[in-house]
Amino acid sequence: MKRQYRLTDEELQSIMDASKPVPYMVIGGVEPSSPQENANRAWQAVAAKHGFEWDTAEDAGTGDAHDLLAEPVKPVEPVCEAIDELNEKARSK
Protein backbone atom coordinates (compact mmCIF):
# COMPACT_ATOMS: atom_id res chain seq x y z
CA MET A 1 0.00 0.00 0.00
CA LYS A 2 1.35 3.39 -0.96
CA ARG A 3 2.11 5.98 1.67
CA GLN A 4 2.39 9.76 1.39
CA TYR A 5 5.80 11.43 1.60
CA ARG A 6 6.80 15.08 1.50
CA LEU A 7 9.96 16.33 -0.19
CA THR A 8 11.93 19.34 0.98
CA ASP A 9 12.51 22.26 -1.38
CA GLU A 10 16.11 21.09 -1.84
CA GLU A 11 15.08 17.51 -2.67
CA LEU A 12 12.50 18.63 -5.19
CA GLN A 13 15.00 21.05 -6.76
CA SER A 14 17.65 18.31 -7.01
CA ILE A 15 15.22 16.10 -8.95
CA MET A 16 14.20 18.97 -11.21
CA ASP A 17 17.84 19.95 -11.86
CA ALA A 18 18.85 16.35 -12.57
CA SER A 19 16.07 16.08 -15.18
CA LYS A 20 17.39 18.96 -17.27
CA PRO A 21 19.42 18.21 -20.39
CA VAL A 22 22.98 19.49 -20.41
CA PRO A 23 25.00 20.50 -23.46
CA TYR A 24 28.00 18.26 -24.12
CA MET A 25 30.57 17.19 -26.68
CA VAL A 26 31.39 13.54 -27.24
CA ILE A 27 35.14 13.07 -26.85
CA GLY A 28 36.61 9.62 -27.20
CA GLY A 29 33.18 8.09 -27.84
CA VAL A 30 32.00 8.46 -24.23
CA GLU A 31 28.69 10.25 -23.72
CA PRO A 32 27.55 11.65 -20.37
CA SER A 33 24.56 10.26 -18.50
CA SER A 34 21.18 11.09 -20.01
CA PRO A 35 18.70 13.35 -18.19
CA GLN A 36 16.63 10.21 -17.47
CA GLU A 37 19.60 8.45 -15.87
CA ASN A 38 20.39 11.56 -13.82
CA ALA A 39 16.77 11.88 -12.70
CA ASN A 40 16.66 8.19 -11.74
CA ARG A 41 19.77 8.65 -9.57
CA ALA A 42 18.24 11.72 -7.92
CA TRP A 43 15.02 9.77 -7.19
CA GLN A 44 17.05 6.87 -5.79
CA ALA A 45 18.91 9.21 -3.40
CA VAL A 46 15.69 10.84 -2.16
CA ALA A 47 13.95 7.48 -1.82
CA ALA A 48 16.84 6.03 0.20
CA LYS A 49 16.63 8.98 2.59
CA HIS A 50 12.85 8.68 3.07
CA GLY A 51 12.59 4.87 2.89
CA PHE A 52 10.45 4.30 -0.20
CA GLU A 53 10.90 2.36 -3.43
CA TRP A 54 12.15 5.02 -5.85
CA ASP A 55 10.38 3.64 -8.92
CA THR A 56 6.93 3.60 -7.27
CA ALA A 57 6.67 7.35 -6.65
CA GLU A 58 3.69 9.19 -8.10
CA ASP A 59 1.88 12.47 -7.63
CA ALA A 60 -0.15 12.55 -4.41
CA GLY A 61 -2.88 14.65 -6.03
CA THR A 62 -2.62 17.43 -3.45
CA GLY A 63 -1.67 20.10 -5.96
CA ASP A 64 1.74 20.47 -4.28
CA ALA A 65 4.75 19.02 -6.13
CA HIS A 66 6.42 18.30 -2.77
CA ASP A 67 3.82 15.62 -1.95
CA LEU A 68 4.06 12.14 -3.42
CA LEU A 69 2.79 8.63 -2.89
CA ALA A 70 5.16 5.66 -2.92
CA GLU A 71 5.57 2.12 -1.66
CA PRO A 72 7.64 1.94 1.53
CA VAL A 73 10.79 -0.18 1.33
CA LYS A 74 9.97 -3.72 2.38
CA PRO A 75 11.90 -4.81 5.45
CA VAL A 76 14.54 -7.47 4.88
CA GLU A 77 13.93 -9.33 8.15
CA PRO A 78 10.69 -11.11 7.12
CA VAL A 79 12.44 -12.39 4.00
CA CYS A 80 15.37 -13.66 6.08
CA GLU A 81 12.99 -15.33 8.51
CA ALA A 82 11.18 -17.05 5.66
CA ILE A 83 14.49 -18.32 4.26
CA ASP A 84 15.50 -19.59 7.70
CA GLU A 85 12.19 -21.46 8.02
CA LEU A 86 12.65 -23.07 4.59
CA ASN A 87 16.22 -24.08 5.46
CA GLU A 88 15.08 -25.59 8.74
CA LYS A 89 12.35 -27.59 7.00
CA ALA A 90 14.85 -28.86 4.45
CA ARG A 91 17.25 -29.97 7.21
CA SER A 92 14.53 -31.83 9.10
CA LYS A 93 13.64 -34.01 6.10
Which residues, in sequence order, are bridge partners of residue 6?
67
Tens digit of pLDDT for each residue in 8-21?
Answer: 999 999 999 999 99
Over its C-alpha atoms, the chain yields an Rg (Å, rounded) of 19
CA–CA gap between residue 46 and residue 70 (Å, rounded): 12
Tens digit of pLDDT for each residue in 19-58?
Answer: 999 888 888 888 889 999 999 999 999 999 999 999 999 9
CA–CA gap between residue 61 and residue 32 (Å, rounded): 34
**Sheet order of strands, 67-70 included:** 3-6, 67-70, 58-59
Model pTM score: 0.74
CA–CA gap between residue 80 and residue 59 (Å, rounded): 32
